[in-house]
């Protein structure tokens, strides 16, 4: 009853894994270079390249029945529809009524009721000279 499945060669698995790790490093490095609006574009391009490698090779879709790749692509298409058409609303508010154009309440009122604290939750005097200490965990 055995039937032959295509067995992905070991070399492909190792090459793809190495490429994915390399691209992860690239994307971190590029994020430190200021390219303005292109940063997000490049980050998404790299992520999509990595994703494509995972889907085609690790998830085996390169060699599988093309119906399965169609299903996956369709899922992305519907996600794309959801995002794009929603943005047609959220990006174009205020076309007729300019007063709705501004982002809703950039500075939420409830903040004014909170006491100022430092990174460890200790209250600070708002008019004091304390500077919040640099958190060791963050850059």
Partner 1 sequence: MIENQKNYLTYPKGIMSWLLTLDHKRIGLMYLFGGLAFFFLGGLLALGMRLELAAPGNDFMSNDTYNNVYTLHGAIMVFLFIIPAIPGALGNILLPLMLGAKDVAFPRLNLASFYLYTLGALFTIYTIIAGGVDTGWTFYTPYSTTSTSNVIPMTMGIFIIGFSSILTGLNFIATIHKMRIPGLTWYKLPLFVWALYGTSLVQITATPVIAITMVLLILERLLGIGIFDPALGGDPVLYQHFFWFYSHPAVYIMILPAFGIVSEIIPVHSRKKIWGYKFIAFSTLSIAFIGFLVWGHHMFTSGQSVFSQIVFSFITYFVGIPTGVKIFSWILTMYRGQVSFTPPMLYALSFLFLFTIGGLTGIFLGAVALDIHLHDTYFVVAHFHYVMQGGTIVAFLGGLHHWWPKSMGTMYNQTVANICCLGVFLGFNGTFFPQFLLGLRGMPRRYATYDPQYADLHNYSSFWSAILGLSIFIAIMNLLWSLRKNNKLDPGTNPWGAMTLEWTHTTSPPHPHNFEEEPVLEHGPYDYDKVIVEPTFKK
Partner 2 sequence: MSHDNSSPSFLQHHFHDVKQQYETAKLGMWAFILTEVLTFGGLFVAYVVYRSWYPEMFINANLLLDVNKGLLNTVVLITSSLTMALAIWAIQKKNKNLSLVMLILTFILAFMFLGIKYLEYSHKFEVGQLPGEYYSYMGPEIAHINNPHIFFSIYFMMTGLHGLHVAIGMGLIGWLIYATAKGNLHSEYYTPMEMIGIFWHLVDLIWIYLFPLFYLIG
Residues engaged in binding partner 2 (CB under 8 A): 1-3, 5, 7-8, 10, 13-14, 17, 20-21, 24, 27-28, 31, 39-40, 43-44, 46-47, 50-51, 54-55, 58-60, 64-65, 67-68, 71-72, 74-76, 78-79, 82-83, 86-87, 90-91, 103, 106-108, 110-111, 114-121, 124, 132, 135, 137-139
What DSSP letter does each residue of 27-91 carry, written as one string? Answer: HHHHHTS--TTHHHHHHHHHHHHHHHHIIIIIS-TTTS-HHHHHHHHHHHHHHHHHHHHHHHHHT
92 secondary structure, DSSP code: S
- Which one of partner 2, partner 1, none interacts with residue 38, CB within 5 to 8 A by kind? none
- Which one of partner 1, partner 2, none interacts with residue 64, CB within 5 to 8 A by kind? partner 2
| Cα–Cα distances in angstroms (integers) from residue 3 to residues 10, 16, 59, 62, 85, in the given order | 20, 27, 20, 19, 46
- Residue ranges in 51-90 that form contacts with partner 1 under rule CB under 8 A: 67, 74-75, 78, 81-82, 85-86, 88-90
Q: Which stretch binds partner 1 (CB under 8 A): 18-26, 40-48, 105-113, 130-138?
A: 105-113
Q: What is the CA radius of gyration of the chain?
A: 24
């Amino acid at each position: 009853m055995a039937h032959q499945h295509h067995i992905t060669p070991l070399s492909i698995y190792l090459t793809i894994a190495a490429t994915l790790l390399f691209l992860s490093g690239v994307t971190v490095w590029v994020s430190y270079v200021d390219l303005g609006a292109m940063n997000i574009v490049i980050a998404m391009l790299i992520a999509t390249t990595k994703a494509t490698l995972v889907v085609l090779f690790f998830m085996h879709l390169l060699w599988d029945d093309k119906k399965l790749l169609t299903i996956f692509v369709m899922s992305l298409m519907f996600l794309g529809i959801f995002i794009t058409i929603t943005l047609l609303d959220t990006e174009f508010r205020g076309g007729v009524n300019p007063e709705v154009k501004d982002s809703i309440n950039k500075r939420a009122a409830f903040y004014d009721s909170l006491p100022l604290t430092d990174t460890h939750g200790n209250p600070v005097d708002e008019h004091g000279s304390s500077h919040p200490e640099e958190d060791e965990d963050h850059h």
